[in-house]
Structure formats: structure tokens, C-alpha cells
Structure 1
Amino acid sequence: MAEAHQAVAFQFTVSPEGIDFQLSHAALKEIYLSGLRSWKKKFNQLRNGFVTGVYPASPSSWLFMVTAILVTQYSRLDPSMGMIEKIKEHLPVSDYLSDEGMDVLSATAFSTGLWLALIMTMRSILKMLLCYHGWMYEEHGKMSNTTKIWLALVKIFAGRKPMLYSYQASLPRLPVPALKDTVQRYLESIRPLTTDEEFQRMTGLARDFEQTLGPRLQWYLKLKSWWAPNYVSDWWEEYVYLRGRGPLMVNSNYYIMDFLYVTPTPIQAARAGNLVYAMMLYRRKLTQEEIKPMMIHGCLPMCSAQYERMFNTTRVPGLEGDTIKHLRDSKHIAVYHAGRFFRVSLYYNGKLLRPRELQAQFQSILGDPTPPSPGEEKLPALTAADRDPWARARNTYFQTGMNEQSLSLIDNAAFFVSLDTSEQGLREPNPGHSLDAYAKSLLHGRCCDRWFDKSFTLVVYRNGKSGINAEHSWADAPIVGHLWEYTIATDAFLLGYDANGNCKGDADPNIPPPQKLEWEIPQECEQVILQSFIVAQALARDVEFHIFTFKDFGKGLIKKCRTSPDSFIQLALQLAHFRDKGKFCLTYEASMTRLFREGRTETVRSCSIESCNFVKAMMDPTQDDNVRLRLFRVAAEKHQNLYRQAMTGAGIDRHLFCLYVVSKYLGFDSPFLREVLSEPWRLSTSQTPVQQLELFDLENHPDYISCGGGFGPVDDDGYGVSYIILGEDLINFHVSCKVSSQETDAHRFGLNIRKAMTDILALFQLNKRIPASGGQ
């Protein structure tokens, strides 16, 4: 422990001869290097904060401004129109400087004020420009003159070489949609899912809400939108995630898989060494804000706020609600293997451990024969089950002694690593079944070998395969996906392995071994752990996964249909679901709102009147393909418009959610909002975006493709579907559902998805005529 090193760095004994001082030079050196690293980090943070604070200008532009004003002063010109002289008259240091010094100081003060005013002006103009979303509604490949002028202005005012958080102050606030529009869009979304009588009843509730309670709640929301950076995100985090009392495992956490076809090395410790090192390189770039902000069309920035809590973060259980604990820095990781916990230091002599040195640390853990202490093996099950028992156990058994110290080391770790004792991945003789098992393992493992409270757990299997299990409250999947893309690309293409599969380089033999965490878990706590383990096991057994690769066609052929790949897949899911269950259902598709400050997600209600008309035509044998194709295009365009509305702040579900929160704060009960918020999402879908294409050379390395990620079903009788579009010819699907449901079957639904995809493509008759490429 670092605390132990510090404790023995300085010792003294009192004897008859006097006081004998004993100094540990090695410990003092470690303390010195630790402090030096901390001060360097603080300096970098101050520097980055200043650079970000003056963006889109740069510190050098201030020097240019001061120099230009001074030159004009000495040229007997006065660009300040007398303001420099007025500043000079009021300077408090007039008695200590010469007249020339006063001139320079007053000109510098004026230049600085002018420079800051220009920065604020540029930011205000950029913020106004970023409020324009007309470009999103234009046909792909056809840009209006208005959009061209707007795009040119954005490029002018957006600045150059932005850091990760450079655009945060320039992003617009998420607007509050008009109450009338939200109610109307809601009624439109439920029309195909209700009978005439049900629809009339909901219309009555909606209109009554719109005319009575709604305007009052709307006023409070608008007030919040003027005051807070985002009127949704803080309530979304608190009430959807942190106030939830159910298990995080399966219900909230999600997973991301490794390469589909390739395992860079079969040596578990070596793979863990490279991956952890790559993650620490990413953390260094994140701390120094060197990661480029995500941009649309190369110039439209998206919010970067969610990156802040990626590392050194854990979710702490509470009796009424959880909290997120985030540290500015952490110098170690927590590792779990075969029922034991270890602390692995990431630095030695002030330097980050190299991959081969990290491999040695992990190999030491794998070879450690020490058995788990009583209660230790299943301890992570507390994080897998209901939150209240975990909160009570934490307050009762983990507040003193070595339990407090060990738990603190886990909470304060940069992230959690699980060295899994099983083998996973795409394996013979049953590749399909092996992918299903791989997904289940990443999502819940053995229910006691993942620390579900950490921001993410890196899982490395015995055969070198890996993946991530991520906690959802602090950020959404694209943020963790960005980290994972960088990590596996750095591991495979930059770091690599030697001929024997070990990490490259040498290891310093003087690095101390990992520290095993010690626990004193009483029998009463063991009973709580066992009960949580039983609850988690039941939840895990009830989850069914079907992971499959769709190779018949991909984005390339879909674009030749002149339609959006996402709309194509979403309509295929609607058709597949109707074939699977014989009915339509409320459908959730996740969309991002990161075009706005602190934006997270919005819901696209993919089941629309237009999509239902298309599905009915596909199921009607009397309809011809021309009618079906026409209805498909109408439905696809409707879906695109719904997605655009969600991205531009005109979605309905976050607005309705916040209205509900305000009603609870005010003590009002709205039958309309109560019913809206209780409606089940029987089909929950999400696309996993590939964000850093430049990291993967699919032409020369076609096997180095990600398998994507997935999540558990949202409803007991529903499906969870995640998909990732890879290259031009491959789409990976992750389908989940509950085993206990009589309505669902993940493999059956997978077959229906395959058939729906091919049936829709057949409508375009691409084998007979191939239209000009287009699409969005």
C-alpha cells in the first residue's frame, strides 16, 4: 500500500543516547516522485483550462493583439479612441512606474479587454450558428446555398486544433419543445398501438393535461432550461439511474466485445498487460485533453462532458439513492482473480509501468496460490444484486478496519480488471453458441467476478479474449466505445507481441509485486453476500442471448437502395417483430443529443403509423412489391425525420419525463403522465457506432473487426437488440430476452431479423437494376 510506504518513510526511536532518526530513502524517493507527478498534472490542468477557456482564440493571439496595439501607439495612432488614456489615469500603480511604463501597461490592459471581448463575441456567434439544424433535413448529396454559407461560417468561427473540451462553452442549450407539439407527437406515436377506444381515452387525458396542469409544469421546465446547462441530464442521471433500486447487472450495465475473428495473443497476462497499458495511454490523452472532440462533417462539435468520469470513478450505493464518486487521479487498478482481490500499482519510480512489467504483475496474480479469505470469493455479488442490501451491508461491515481500506482501494482504483478463469470468443465446434456464451459472460459472468459499480470492468479471459462491462449512469455506450476502439487498436497495431505471444520489451525486476487485499467478513455479512449471489444467479439464468453476424449484405448494398442504413434496419426489426409476435409494440431506439451541452440521449419511437403500414403490406399476400416499396420509402423517411427531431431537441420522451419529475416536485398527480411513464418498451434497440475508422485498416486487415456490444432486455416480455454496421458488407446483431417469457425467443427473433432484411432488400430488385448510389 502507498499508505504503508509513507508510514515507514520516517521513523525514530528514543534511547538514552538520544533520538535515532531512520529515513527510508526509497520511500522518500517514491513520495517525491509522486508529488512531482501530481504537481505536473496540476500544471497541465491549469494550462489546459486556460487554453480551453480562451478558445476559439489562442494564447498567442493575445500576444499578437498586445503587440499590434503597442505598435499603433508608438505610431501615434489611437485605435482605442481615448480609452487607453482613461485606463492610464485610473491605474493604481501610477506612482511606481514611469510614463512609458504606464503607457505599456494601459495598452496591455486595453488589448486584453479587447481580446476577451472578441473571444466572447466569437463564442456567441458560434453558439448561434450551432443552433441551426436545417442541414440535417436536406437530401444527402444536395446542399442548399444557405447551408453552404452556414458551414463556411462555422469553420471560420470554430477555430483550429481544438482540445477535448474546447467547444463546451459554445454549445447551445437543449431547447424545451412546445408542449402542444410534444402531446401531438405522443398521440401520433401510440395511434398504431391502441384500439379506437383506448386512443380516444388517451387523447382525452392528453388534451386535459395540455390545457390544465401542463402549462404550469412547462413554465418550470423553461425556467430550468435558462438556468441549467441542460434541463434533462441531471434528472436523467439521478432518477433513471442513481435512484434505481434494482440490480445493475443485466438491467443497467452493458458490454462491449473484443475482435470477432482475431485474438492477438493467447497469453492472458500478456493481453491484460497490453490492454491496461493502452487504457492508461488513453487516460493520459484524456487528462491532457489531447483527444479530439467528436465532430459531425468534420466541423460540428458534439458535447464531450461525459468523458470526464471515465476513469477513477465508482458508483456508491445508498439507501435512498446512489452517488457517483470520482477522483481526479488514481495510481492503481483493482484486480480480481479466482476469488481474490489485488491492488496493482500503475507507476514505479514515477513512471508508468510498461506492458511487459504489467504482464509480470498479472502473471504474479495468476500464479499466486493464496486461497480466498472467508466471504471474499463472492463479495462482488453485492454489486450485482439489489442496491439496498448492498448499501446496508456497506454501512454496517465496510466502514472500519481492513474492510474499509480494501473497499477504498477498489473504489479509488482507475478501473477494475477481472482475470477470468474461463475461455470465451468465437470458437469451434459451435461458433454461434460460443458467441452467445461470450455475451452472457461479459454481461454477468459468474455473478461474483465483476465489480459492477466501477465505471467499467476490463475482462480478460484465460485464452486471451477480452471485453468490457460498463456501468451506465456516468456515461452512454459511445463514450466507452471510443475508449475500447483506441485500446484494441493500440494493442493490436501499435504495441503488439513478440514471437512467443508475450508483451514486447523488458521488465524491471525491482518492481514490487501486487498487493493482495485483506478482508475480515463476519458470518452475518457472508449471509448477505450469499443472498445477493442467489438473486444475481437467478437474474443471470433468466437472460438469453443470440449473437449473429449478418453477411448477406451490408451498408454498401443498402446505400444502393438510396435509403438510410439505420432506417433500413429499424424497419426490418419492425417486420421481424410482427412476424415473431404477431403484433406491434412500443419501440425504443436510442439517439444522442450531444449537439447540445451536456446532452445524453433521446428516444426515437421507431414504431410509427408509416412503419406499421409497411409491415402490414409485407404481411398481405395480395399486395405487390411496388406498393410495398412505396410504403417502405414513406416509412423510412418518417423514421429519418423522427431521428432528426430527436437529435435536434424535438424528441418527446425526455420532455415528458421532465414534466413528470416537475409534477412530483410540486406534489401533483397527472393521470396522463403516469400512464405515459409506465408504458413498457417491448422492443429496445440501439446502434453501436464505429467512431474512429482511421484506427482500423479493414482493407489490409479485414479480420480485425469488432463484434460490437449489447445489453439485457428492458421488459420481461420484450427484446433488446443492438447492432453494429462494419464496413460495407457486415452487420452484427446482439439479441437478448428473458428465458422465463412465453412470448420471446432470441434465436427465433434472430431468424426473423435475417429474413426481414433479405425480404426488404428483394423489394429493390438490385439484381435487375442498380440505381445511382446515394442514401444517408
Structure 2
Amino acid sequence: MDKGQDQLPSLPVPPLDQTLTRYLESIRPLTSDDEYNRMADAVQQFNQSGQGPSLDQRLRKHAKECEARGTSWLAEWWDDWAYFSHRDSSTFFVNYYFGFQDDPRMPTQTARAALLVSLALEFRQLISNRTLTPDMARNSPFCMNMYRFLFNYSRISGTPTDAAVGFPTEANNHICVVRNGKFYIFETQHIPSKPSSVLSPREIMIQLERIKKMADDDKSSAPAVGILSTGQRDQAAKDRVTLFEAHATNKAHMAKIESSMFVLCLDSTSPSTSEEFSRACWHGDGASRWFDKCFQLIVFANGRAGMNGEHSKMDATPTSRLCRYLIDEAQARTLPDFRGLNAEDLYEIASVLDKPQPLSFVSSSALDRAIANAFAYFRATVDAHEMIPTEFRGYGKGLIKSFKMSPDAYVQMALQLAYYRKHKELVATYESAATRKYRHGRTETARSCSNESKVFCEAMDNPDASLKVRVAACRAAVARHAQYTAWAVDGQAVDRHLLGLRLIRKPDEPIPALFADPVFARTCRWRLSTSQISDDCFIAYGWGEVVPDGYGCAYMVKESELYFCVTSLKLGSKEFGQHIVDALEDMRFTFEEVRKIEKAE
């Protein structure tokens, strides 16, 4: 796991002239002539007045200091700026989810859950003993730092910012299970034995069956504390205090949830449609979750499964690798069952297992009000959202590659065209690009909207533009986006450098005109926020929009199909999804017709 980690380069600070030039180019399709000229003057003033070079010099000094400490110049700012200072609900606007492909053996809920939990314990051990192979980019290892936060971590709500707390893995081998809004924990090791041994899948299944029975038989009105993790962060911080003030044991119970390896949600629902499944993985009922945990493994009554990830300390690559391990290994393992065991055998196995411990939270009138208010916010936010999974089976990366283009950049241009057709304008667009080739690297923004994408969108809807002109425009736009993505992966895009220049400025220094101009804020406001995870083991993937008048658009590029999940505050997500499908069909028609023409010529 540590192979090549000490040779990873530091995240670079790009040349200032380069960043400013690329920034101006990126905003040109989003600005009027007057706005662009004003920003060009502001950029020139920033670069020549001395304030820009001065801030840049201080940023480079900061970068060297961070390099000496073995970290990234951005890492110490990023968690707070991008996540912990974010005051909207993490459930709806930060966390992400994956929906797993179904197990063809159609296992019971507890059988599938037990096997997945057992495999998660194996993966955790690979991290603990440093034998997990590094993620690679061709022959070069990626930074593996984020894997430190995959287990036994929890986000903690606070004011004015949140925090994250990690717990020693050696001392915290319990799992938190939630069902019907009630929380339980059980140890995953046979504690009395020396050395301790890990519970088998069958033993885990016994524990889960016990928890199911306890939760289903418990008719008490215990406080649904899980809903408190769904609120806006300032409110969540207040509710945390209210929870602890209600009774002394509540704080100890919450510590057990937060120090657990992860949360397992044993849902009593059976989602069937794509939207039901996506929503169940995204937010569920709000009560049978703890959204501040590093990740939640979710298994439904019908045996379907998924994962919900907390984003602040990890991007999706570590969790997607974990999920790939769970799904692949599960197919190669035998499902646990109780066949061949009579009641006496089961009793003997269960007798050596400590019974799962219920976390019996105690309520108060103030806590009851907090929970009621949290439910009201949760339901209103769920109702306000459209989440539309769109499965396009017309073609996938196989055909796109035959057009000799980057599949990801091609899909990005389909999204540009879809947005242009629906809203009659272009918009600042975010695509996540990993910078993990650098030490403690996270992400950079690949700006999808470009001068070339504007020409492409206009050509596709111009009846006077020939098919060859449209193909040429698409190729130019795809090539431009592929180039910008390569810059982003290399740490040579604009957004993180500009952020560093803003954060290094002292509060009593004047705000440069470049950053004060409304155009700067508008062209960094991602009304179309996109990201790709392409893995056949997932059949669902998504998250919420990042601005109220925007879309969250997750997508997967597979060999012969494409998947999109469009989320918005009722901007017309279904219509936008249809525009994506139409754009993809139009692009295929255009390329195939030109291919026929060129072949005939």
C-alpha cells in the first residue's frame, strides 16, 4: 500500500500568468463583451499592480512549508473551505451514494448484509496491515492518504464549522446497525480469545437476525435520533447539544455510533424502481441512517444493497474501490445460511457471541421538538427535489471510441448540448478531476463549458450547419475538454490556484477587482455539477445539486450503455434527462452519417 508514496510530488502551484490566461479563456463563452473586457482589465490590474504577484509569492511560500510537513498546500484549507464550513444539509447537498448490482443468487437481507460486512472487515484489514495495493494511474501510484478515513471516522456537526474525528481502529471493532430508526452495536471479534478472531459470515448473520428481531419487536417510541443528521449544519449542531442535554447516556451512545467502523442500515423497505432505489440510497426515511458516518452500507428487505458516503475526508474513489471489492468478492464466496443446523446448533453458536447492544436514547421535550422539526425539514426537502435516473442503452464507450474521441469528454459535450437546448444558454459547469498523482491530492475542476463547446452547441441547432461542420465542431469541443481535463489532473487548471490566492489574502487587505466582480462569482457557480464513476458493479449513482438553481448530474460510461442521474429543485430533471438522451442520439446520427459520406467519397 505504501509503494511509491514517499516519492509522490507535491501539488504544484501553476504559473500565475498561465492561470489568469486560462481563466479568461474559460469565462469567455459565459460573458458579454462588456463583462469580458471588464474582467480582462481586472486580470491585467491584478497581475501588474503587484497584488497578484504578491499573493502568489506568499502562496508559493505556504506551499513549500506544507511540502516540508509532508502535505499539500491545499489540504489544510480544503476540508474546511469545501466541506466543514458548508452550512446546508450534508444529506442532500454533500453526501453521495452508489447502488450495487443485484446478487443473482437472490439472498435474504441478512445473508447479503452479513457477507458484505464480512468482506468490509477484510478490506479494513488490508488497510490496517498496509497490504492493499495502491490505486494506479498507468504505472504510477496514486496517493493513498484518503484510505485512512474510510473506517472509524465521523463528521461532527459544529458552529461555525464542522470537524471530523477518527477513532483508533485497534480499540473500535464494533459496527453500528440501524433499523426502524433504532440503533444497535455488536462486536466483530471474539473478544475472550487471544488473539481475538473475527466473526464468520454466519456468526455476523446471527447477530443481524438478532438485531432485526429486537428492532421489529420493539414497539417503544424511542427518539428517532438519526433524523438529526439530516438538517442544516448549524441546526444539526444545536440538535447535538439538545440530544446530549436530554440525558447523560445519550452522549455515550452517540460516541458508540461515531467510533464504529461504519453504519449498516438494515432497511425494512424493498425499493424496486430505479428512482425508488436511488432515493432509498440517497436519503431513505431519514431516521434509519446516520449521514455523518464515514460510510453507510445499506441492505434492503428484498436483498438489494448500496452505500452512502460522507464526502468531507474522502472523495468517491476509495469508497468505490471498497464497493468493487465487496461486490466482486461476494460473487466468489458462499452466502452464509443456517442450512444443516438445528435449533440446538444455532443456540450453541449464538451462545458464544455477545448479544448486540441497543443504544437506548432517552428523550426530553426539547429533543422531541428538535426531532419533529428535523422531520419537517427532511420531508420538505425530499418533496422539493426531483431525482430522475436516466438509463441510455443506445450505445456506450465502445461506439464513442470508434469515433476516435474521449468517451468522458464526448458525454460532457452531450450535457452541454442538453443544457443549452433546455435553458437556451450556457452555464459554468463543474466536472471533478482527481489530483491524486500528488501527495494528499483531492480534486480540481475540469471546466466543461468552453468557446469550442459553445460553437458545437450552436452548430447542432443551426439548420444551415452541415453535418461535417457539426462533426468538426464536436471534435474540437471534445478535444478541448480532454485537454482541460488533463490540465486539471496535472494540477494546472485554474480553480484551486485562484482559491489559494483568495485564501492567502489577509482580511485587512483590499479585495482585488478580479475577485470582487460579480462575474467572478457567477463563473465559479456550478449550476451544472457533474462527475463520472464508471463501474459495471454499480447500477445507481448520484448526489444533490450544489446551488439551488442548478443540477447535480452523476453519470456512468459503460461499454454499451450510459447512465445519468439528474437531481434538482424541480427545474425539470426529467425533461433535462430527455434532452441528454436526444443529444446523444443526435450526436450519434451526425457522426454515423458523416462516416457514411466519407466512406462513399
- Tell me the TM-score normalised to structure 1 length: 0.72
What residue in structure 2 maps to residue 327 of structure 1? 167
CA pair 659-768 structure 1, distance change in 2 beyond 3 A: closer
Greater shift in the superposed pair: 368-377 or 202-211: 368-377
Q: Secondary structure at the match of 1:388?
A: helix
Q: Secondary structure at the match of 1:509?
A: helix
CA–CA distance in structure 2, aligned partners of residues 302 and 323 of structure 1: 26
CA–CA distance in structure 2, aligned partners of residues 735 and 666 of structure 1: 42
Question: Does 1:357 find its partner at 2:203?
Answer: yes
How far is the alpha carbon of 1:680 from its aligned partner? 2.1
2:123 to 270, 273, 282: 282
CA pair 722-397 structure 1, distance change in 2 beyond 3 A: closer
Q: Is the Cα–Cα contact under 8 Å of residues 225 and 231 in structure 1 kept in the other structure?
A: yes
Q: Deviations over 1:284-321 (max 9, x none)?
A: 11111111111122x11111111111000001112121
Question: Does 1:492 find its partner at 2:339?
Answer: no
2:527 to 667, 677, 682: 682
How far is the alpha carbon of 1:262 from its aligned partner? 4.4
What residue in structure 2 maps to residue 596 of structure 1? 438
CA–CA distance in structure 1, aligned partners of residues 340 and 267 of structure 2: 19
CA pair 179-412 structure 1, distance change in 2 beyond 3 A: same
Alignment of 1:301-320 (within 5 A): 301-320=141-160
1:227 to 38, 48, 65: 65
What residue in structure 2 maps to residue 73 of structure 1? none
Q: Deviations over 1:409-459 (max 9, x none)?
A: 1011000111111111xx4xxxxxx11121112111112221011001111
CA–CA distance in structure 2, aligned partners of residues 475 and 522 of structure 1: 35
Greater shift in the superposed pair: 674-683 or 522-531: 674-683
Alignment of 1:348-497 (within 5 A): 348=190, 349=193, 350-368=196-214, 369-371=216-218, 374=221, 376-377=223-224, 379-398=225-244, 401-424=248-271, 427=272, 434-496=273-335
Q: Is the Cα–Cα contact under 8 Å of residues 560 and 771 in structure 1 kept in the other structure?
A: no
1:191 to 6, 23, 28: 28
Alignment of 1:129-148 (within 5 A): none
How far is the alpha carbon of 1:628 from its aligned partner? 1.0
How far is the alpha carbon of 1:623 from its aligned partner? 0.7
Question: Does 1:761 find its partner at 2:585?
Answer: no
Q: Which has the larger radius of gyration?
A: 1
What residue in structure 2 maps to residue 535 of structure 1? 377
- 2:564 partner amino acid: F
Q: Which structure 1 segments of 5+ residues have no match?
A: 1-163, 428-433, 691-703
- 2:12 partner amino acid: P
Alignment of 1:155-234 (within 5 A): 164-212=1-49, 213-228=51-66, 229-234=71-76
CA–CA distance in structure 1, aligned partners of residues 327 and 368 of structure 2: 38
What residue in structure 2 maps to residue 737 of structure 1? 568
Q: Is the Cα–Cα contact under 8 Å of residues 3 and 141 in structure 2 kept in the other structure?
A: no
CA–CA distance in structure 1, aligned partners of residues 337 and 254 of structure 2: 37
CA–CA distance in structure 1, aligned partners of residues 515 and 253 of structure 2: 45
- Number of positions where the alignment pairs a residue of Structure 1 with one of Structure 2: 578
Q: Secondary structure at the match of 2:333?
A: helix
What residue in structure 1 maps to residue 481 of structure 2? 639
Q: Is the Cα–Cα contact under 8 Å of residues 337 and 419 in structure 1 kept in the other structure?
A: yes
CA–CA distance in structure 2, aligned partners of residues 596 and 363 of structure 1: 45
How far is the alpha carbon of 1:501 from its aligned partner? 13
CA–CA distance in structure 2, aligned partners of residues 770 and 554 of structure 1: 23
Q: Is the Cα–Cα contact under 8 Å of residues 263 and 465 in structure 1 kept in the other structure?
A: no
CA pair 345-771 structure 1, distance change in 2 beyond 3 A: farther
CA–CA distance in structure 2, aligned partners of residues 621 and 767 of structure 1: 16
How far is the alpha carbon of 1:360 from its aligned partner? 1.1
How far is the alpha carbon of 1:509 from its aligned partner? 2.3
1:336 to 178, 185, 188: 178
Q: Deviations over 1:163-182 (max 9, x none)?
A: x1222210011111122221
- Bigger RCO (CA 8 Å, 6+ sep): 2
What residue in structure 2 maps to residue 749 of structure 1? 576
Greater shift in the superposed pair: 603-612 or 365-374: 365-374
CA–CA distance in structure 2, aligned partners of residues 423 and 668 of structure 1: 57
Question: Does 1:300 find its partner at 2:131?
Answer: no
What residue in structure 1 maps to residue 538 of structure 2? 706
How far is the alpha carbon of 1:771 from its aligned partner? 9.8
- 1:681 partner amino acid: W
CA pair 410-718 structure 1, distance change in 2 beyond 3 A: same
Q: Deviations over 1:730-774 (max 9, x none)?
A: 2221111112xxxx21111111111111211222227965999xx
Question: Does 1:717 find its partner at 2:559?
Answer: no
Q: Is the Cα–Cα contact under 8 Å of residues 374 and 521 in structure 1 kept in the other structure?
A: no
Q: Is the Cα–Cα contact under 8 Å of residues 383 and 452 in structure 1 kept in the other structure?
A: yes
How far is the alpha carbon of 1:669 from its aligned partner? 2.5
Q: Secondary structure at the match of 1:524?
A: helix
Q: Secondary structure at the match of 1:680?
A: coil
Q: Secondary structure at the match of 1:293?
A: coil
CA–CA distance in structure 2, aligned partners of residues 492 and 757 of structure 1: 34
Q: Is the Cα–Cα contact under 8 Å of residues 663 and 670 in structure 1 kept in the other structure?
A: no
How far is the alpha carbon of 1:393 from its aligned partner? 3.2
Alignment of 1:68-79 (within 5 A): none
CA pair 649-756 structure 1, distance change in 2 beyond 3 A: same
How far is the alpha carbon of 1:264 from its aligned partner? 3.9
Calculate the aligned-residue CA RMSD, in Å.
2.3
Q: Secondary structure at the match of 1:764?
A: helix
2:490 to 635, 648, 673: 648
- 2:483 partner amino acid: N
2:452 to 610, 614, 621: 610
CA–CA distance in structure 1, aligned partners of residues 385 and 248 of structure 2: 38
CA–CA distance in structure 2, aligned partners of residues 225 and 653 of structure 1: 16
- Tell me the TM-score normalised to structure 2 length: 0.92
Q: Is the Cα–Cα contact under 8 Å of residues 97 and 308 in structure 2 kept in the other structure?
A: yes
How far is the alpha carbon of 1:500 from its aligned partner? 7.6
Q: Is the Cα–Cα contact under 8 Å of residues 445 and 488 in structure 2 kept in the other structure?
A: yes
- 1:711 partner amino acid: W
How far is the alpha carbon of 1:493 from its aligned partner? 2.3
- 1:393 partner amino acid: D
Greater shift in the superposed pair: 337-346 or 200-209: 200-209
What residue in structure 2 maps to residue 53 of structure 1? none
What residue in structure 2 maps to residue 571 of structure 1? 413
- 2:548 partner amino acid: D
- 1:320 partner amino acid: P
- 1:255 partner amino acid: Y
How far is the alpha carbon of 1:190 from its aligned partner? 1.1
Q: Secondary structure at the match of 1:755?
A: helix
Q: Is the Cα–Cα contact under 8 Å of residues 467 and 594 in structure 2 kept in the other structure?
A: no
CA–CA distance in structure 2, aligned partners of residues 205 and 449 of structure 1: 51
How far is the alpha carbon of 1:346 from its aligned partner? 0.8
